[in-house]
Structure 1
Amino acid sequence: MMNILKYNTKRSKVYKLFYAVLPLLLLVSCNKEIENKAHFASTDDIKDDYSEKSYKVAYIVIEGAVGSVVATEATDYNKMPFLASMTSKGLFSWNSIASDATQDITFYADLLTGVKKDKHKVVSDDISGAAFDKYPLIFDRLKKDLGTRTAVFTSNAIVDKLSQNSTIDNKKVLASDEQVVQEAKTELKRDDSNFTLVTLNGADKVGKTQGYGPKSAAYLTALNTVDKQLKEIVGTIESRLNYNSERWLIVVASNRGGTYELDPIQDDHSLYSVPFRNNFVLFYNNQFQYKFIERVDLSDPTYDGSAIRYTGTATSAVIDADKADIYNLGNTVDKEFTIQMKIKFHNRGSLNPTFFSKMGNTGNSDDGWSFIHNGGIGWRLKVKGTQVIDNEVFNLNEWYTLTAKIYNDKGTRKAKVFRNGVLKAEGSINGVQGSSSQSLKLGSGATYGSGASHTITDVRIYNKALPDEYIASNYCQTAVYDDNIYWNDLIGYWPAIEGAGNVLVDKSKSKINFNITGEVSWNAFSERSGSLCPTAPQNLELSTIRSVDAPVLIYNWLGILGTDKFNLDSKVWTPNYSNN
């Protein structure tokens, strides 16, 4: 699950400050903060700086709100019109997946620490063993690092218990949601209001007694009531005297969903189909643009990413020779390998352009190995001067999986080449030197040919000859994870769909990245193909925004630097900004 940061075109002084302090992080990854705070800056005031604008947060938790039900009520039936209106200036997910907890106090600990239970250790109402010293609640982190004024309004004893040792400036545990809303409105009118947590449990109370889900009329009515309460709270914020000179992040999230019998037509037997874990998260600011993070379509998935288009020899991804020795094929029968990639040819070029190699000039008989276009027709594996050739013509602009297998056949070293899992050719490379002192190059190389253009992704090198049957049945998969039977045999695995930057990250145990040289052009794609069977994310819950993701956004918004050292489980999600 990967995201490309989109930055404001008009940069404020806070942008410049953070940019000077921290390197540009173009690839969003789990457990990393947004190291450049550009997208949190004002877009309309070049004189703006962090001290002149007041950055504030309201964190509103709607307990027991099933994300998919809320989505239907808001967007289809207009029964939650205010929440629906917030999505027009929101970054949000309706199909969030809450953690695999059973206790409400655990879900709340996720919401308020940014880590899951294996770190915060809150698994029951007895919180004596909680690791709040390592993973503080938001109130405590803000108070310690920024001296922020904090407030909490809740009718839930769990929130009171979790925060019993926290220093909170205005904390009230009340008898009803109506009282919670009134007290929250009073706090939110204060000039020094800075971080306010509001929890509403009306929908959850109804769900527990009269059922959750779309068939419970009482539950749907309760959601409508919550929507009106939400409107009151946000309306109070937006009617503040200084609202136009303030920067409010309003987070609306459910702690979890609720159990009910799902309609079979909606059940895809994944975590998306567990109503109890189906919550939602929305980040709202009046300068955000609509950005919906949709669930992965497991019934008809697409291959999604952004990859480099290599043209001629203008661009290469390179691993220097001093790090690339492990990719030498050698010349002895005991060294077995499987090399695989996905490639889309845009232009075949002329003669024999190279697109993957660890040898010198591939037009000669240098030591080493290479993948080469075969005279504008098919492709070939070349090991020194010996070649195994697939002569079938490639269609342009169509995904193919190419595989080369080097193996021991009863004491003779041989090679096979496959196209989309189908064996195309085989031959002997016995005694041929497949090692060289050259770097490993992807995309282009020194060769007898020119002009080819291609997109390459999902590059894998195994120090094992994979079975033909495995190659045939798994070639179409677009990802491999650490639960795969051959994961430990991977010595290089580059998904190559980062979408930005000058590095292709190695996901294997080797951790040897490609550095991109020359012209870099990333091209986004989202495609279906008969030669692809896109692989579902290993951690499906990371595919949409989770409640555990909220704290890092809040910290960044309020100006806390260096949140990577907090070791949060929060994944960074980046809002798009409006130019209005």
Structure 2
Amino acid sequence: MNMKKGFTLTITLKYLGLAFVFGCFLIATGCNKGFENTLPQSFRNDTAGLGAGKRVLYIVLDGVTGTAVKTLAPTNIAQINAKATYTYDGLADNKYNVITNASAWTTMLTGYDYTKHNVTAEDFTGLNLQATPTIFTRINSSINNARTVSIASTTVFNDRLATDATVKQNVSDDAAVKVGVVAELASNNPSMIVAQFHSAETAGAANGYTASTPAYAAAIQSIDGYIGEILTALKARKGYSGENWLVIIASNKGGGQSGGVVGSNIFNDPSRNAYIAFYNPRFSSVKIAQPDPNSYPFVGTAPRFIATTATNVTAIQNNTAIGNFGTTGNFTFMFKFRDDYGQANYYPMFLAKRSAFNSVSSTGWGFLFGGNSAQLDWGGTPRPGFGIDIRDGRWHTVAFTIGLLNGVRTLTLYVDGLTRYSGSINGRNIDNNIPLRLGGDVGTDGNTQTNLLIRDVALFNVTMSATEVAAIMRTQIKSTTPFFSNLLGFWPGNETSGTAMLDQSGKGNNFTYSSNVAFAQFEEISPNVSPDISPAAYLSVPNGVDIPMLIYNWLNIAVSPQWGLMGRLYSPTVSLPTN
């Protein structure tokens, strides 16, 4: 094929780009079906025809967080990013275990995480290299006369993981690692070189793993200088013009406390935060970032509360004391809802504790629609409005707090994280023996009918601040949520059958659904809700376990399904200038 001089052919290889993977976790299910994210048996790829002479330089940065690299912007790494697929949001792994240097090294050198290689402690207890061979073993058994080299500043790295390397050198420090790599590049013909730098981990463990920590920042800058010298030596090789080097620079792990609670956001675990880059002079610069937390989908099931002129759906609280606030005490009440009625009407109640559910009463309180918005009726007065159109078919969050403000008992209403009203209810007692109820009355006409979903109803015995309310009302409450121990009741409403809306606070104050309740599935993005992150989101950035897969691909090594590798293939985007 003849091409004009200066033409650039851009080829996107078998690359799990953000658009695809992010779409996967938006749908949460079904994306793996029919999508091949591992190399098939007998697959041999010449990486967009880059030619022979494929080699790998794999630089391991112990304890270097992606966040620190992003902040410090070291000179040589910045130049690498200009010709690399890279991320500051990479993950050492996407589990909730306590991560160690040993477990992280083993993951990134075998292509299996700790659930397969069994290494969790720094002494490598449980390591079985027959079941989970390293890249040294695989390469040496797949390529004739391969020369695999490991140069490490931590002796145990080589002693436990580089036993099958053709050459292994244990050196005294990171400067000696650089010297060893430069000498190997100048004098020999390596198929793969692994260089392990440990000084940043030492500095971080002693002083803190942040860019503002002088010793840690200095260690990273020094390593960056070593990387620059290594790349200079690489390009000075006599046969460099006929070689194709894949340069991988990857943190083994980040730093700080690790081992989060199941369901927490692993992207927020600094011990797993890794810088990972796949570099070649012909690669295009592609930055991979973690998904925007505001774009996580709210996915689940909720009871649908419909009230027509013939019937209505309700949930009745079994404990009539729930929702009584007396004249003293501190409380926060919150819930999420989505109105599907879709048009203005006046004034159907939809969540209330009062006897007269369809009219104003001096006893009890309740939420009712009004036009395209809604309001909170507090014993007839005050009746603060939401102040926004909430009849838009999207999820909204509502809360109120009761507590002393400058010595005055005050009711404060919040909608979608913003304060909508604050006023005195000092000395007022609107308690009653009527159960708290979700769902409206049978309607008399279009003005009194309802159709809505209600989720995540929660009552706390504490007055949260505006900041705390705004943060918590957006989330899905769990045992790690602030003030979880202050819950008087928590009703997620995530049942899919039955007649009980279960209290998951441990207090046993269930609601009882009416027999005609139906449960609706939903999946959507709302600007008002910050739902739990889907585990699939962690696959949208490179993980340590993915690296061996790319190495095998680059070296044209067929990956057998029997290997059971756990990584995904992140092949970079290649720009091929042609004559």
Which residue pairs with 1:448 in the alignment?
Answer: none
Structure 1: stretches of 5+ with no match in the other structure: 9-24, 75-79, 262-267, 305-397, 402-417, 423-462, 479-527
Counterpart secondary structure, 1:248: strand
Contact kept? 1:28, 1:572, Cα under 8 Å: no
Which residue pairs with 1:40 in the alignment?
Answer: 47
Which residue pairs with 1:177 in the alignment?
Answer: 174
Deviation, structure 1 residue 56: 0.1
Residues 327-377 of structure 1 show CA distances to partners (whole Å, capped at 9, x for unaligned) of xxxxxxxxxxxxxxxxxxxxxxxxxxxxxxxxxxxxxxxxxxxxxxxxxxx
**Cα distance 1:465–1:269, how it changes in 2: closer, same or farther (>3 A)?**
closer
Deviation, structure 1 residue 203: 1.1
Q: Please give the alpha-carbon distance, in whole angstroms, between the structure 2 residues aligned to 1:242 and 1:541.
A: 39
Q: 1:90 aligns with which of 80, 84, 89?
A: 84
Tell me which amino acid in the other structure corresponds to 1:121. Answer: N
Which residue pairs with 1:245 in the alignment?
Answer: 242
Tell me which amino acid in the other structure corresponds to 1:6. Answer: T
TM-score by length of 1: 0.52
Q: Please give the alpha-carbon distance, in whole angstroms, between the structure 2 residues aligned to 1:191 and 1:222.
A: 29
Which residue pairs with 2:159 in the alignment?
Answer: 161
Q: Please give the alpha-carbon distance, in whole angstroms, between the structure 1 residues aligned to 2:255 and 2:532.
A: 29
Counterpart secondary structure, 1:218: helix
Q: Please give the alpha-carbon distance, in whole angstroms, between the structure 1 residues aligned to 2:90 and 2:201.
A: 17
Deviation, structure 1 residue 66: 0.9
**Cα distance 1:228–1:419, how it changes in 2: closer, same or farther (>3 A)?**
farther
Counterpart secondary structure, 1:221: helix
Contact kept? 1:7, 1:38, Cα under 8 Å: no
Q: 1:562 aligns with which of 559, 563, 569?
A: 559
TM-score by length of 2: 0.53
Contact kept? 2:13, 2:572, Cα under 8 Å: no
Residues 167-197 of structure 1 show CA distances to partners (whole Å, capped at 9, x for unaligned) of 3222110111111111111111245211100
Tell me which amino acid in the other structure corresponds to 1:68. Answer: T
Contact kept? 1:258, 1:276, Cα under 8 Å: yes
Deviation, structure 1 residue 90: 0.7
Which residue pairs with 2:204 in the alignment?
Answer: 207
The count of aligned residue pairs is 340
Counterpart secondary structure, 2:190: coil
Q: How does 1:314-463 map to 2 (within 5 A)?
A: none
Q: Please give the alpha-carbon distance, in whole angstroms, between the structure 1 residues aligned to 2:452 and 2:69.
A: 43
Q: Please give the alpha-carbon distance, in whole angstroms, between the structure 1 residues aligned to 2:39 and 2:530.
A: 30
Contact kept? 1:34, 1:572, Cα under 8 Å: no
Contact kept? 1:7, 1:39, Cα under 8 Å: no
**Cα distance 1:128–1:465, how it changes in 2: closer, same or farther (>3 A)?**
closer
Counterpart secondary structure, 1:574: coil
Q: Please give the alpha-carbon distance, in whole angstroms, between the structure 2 residues aligned to 1:469 and 1:35.
A: 54
Residue 280, structure 1, aligned to residue 254, structure 2: no
Residue 149, structure 1, aligned to residue 158, structure 2: no
**Cα distance 1:297–1:152, how it changes in 2: closer, same or farther (>3 A)?**
same
Which residue pairs with 1:67 in the alignment?
Answer: 66
Contact kept? 1:549, 1:572, Cα under 8 Å: yes
Deviation, structure 1 residue 563: 3.9
Residue 124, structure 1, aligned to residue 121, structure 2: yes
Deviation, structure 1 residue 250: 0.5
Q: Please give the alpha-carbon distance, in whole angstroms, between the structure 2 residues aligned to 1:146 and 1:229.
A: 29
Deviation, structure 1 residue 420: 9.3
Q: Please give the alpha-carbon distance, in whole angstroms, between the structure 2 residues aligned to 1:29 and 1:209.
A: 43
Residues 48-93 of structure 1 show CA distances to partners (whole Å, capped at 9, x for unaligned) of 5xxxx2100011001110111111211xxxxx01101111111112
Q: Please give the alpha-carbon distance, in whole angstroms, between the structure 2 residues aligned to 1:62 and 1:129.
A: 24
Q: Please give the alpha-carbon distance, in whole angstroms, between the structure 1 residues aligned to 2:148 and 2:110.
A: 15
Counterpart secondary structure, 1:578: strand
Contact kept? 1:258, 1:277, Cα under 8 Å: yes
**Cα distance 1:126–1:219, how it changes in 2: closer, same or farther (>3 A)?**
closer
Q: Please give the alpha-carbon distance, in whole angstroms, between the structure 2 residues aligned to 1:141 and 1:561.
A: 10
Which residue pairs with 1:573 in the alignment?
Answer: 570
**Cα distance 1:202–1:39, how it changes in 2: closer, same or farther (>3 A)?**
same
Q: Please give the alpha-carbon distance, in whole angstroms, between the structure 2 residues aligned to 1:90 and 1:272.
A: 22
Which residue pairs with 1:504 in the alignment?
Answer: none
Q: Please give the alpha-carbon distance, in whole angstroms, between the structure 1 residues aligned to 2:266 and 2:35.
A: 23
**Cα distance 1:130–1:31, how it changes in 2: closer, same or farther (>3 A)?**
farther
**Cα distance 1:27–1:187, how it changes in 2: closer, same or farther (>3 A)?**
farther
**Cα distance 1:93–1:471, how it changes in 2: closer, same or farther (>3 A)?**
farther
Tell me which amino acid in the other structure corresponds to 1:116. Answer: D
**Cα distance 1:142–1:191, how it changes in 2: closer, same or farther (>3 A)?**
same
Identity among equivalent pairs (%) = 24
Which structure is larger by alpha-carbon Rg, 1 or 2?
Answer: 2
Q: Please give the alpha-carbon distance, in whole angstroms, between the structure 1 residues aligned to 2:41 and 2:232.
A: 29
Counterpart secondary structure, 2:271: helix
Deviation, structure 1 residue 7: 3.8
Q: Which has the higher contact order (CA 8 A, sep 6+)?
A: 2
RMSD (Å) for aligned C-alpha atoms: 3.7
Q: Please give the alpha-carbon distance, in whole angstroms, between the structure 1 residues aligned to 2:212 and 2:531.
A: 34
Contact kept? 1:105, 1:162, Cα under 8 Å: no
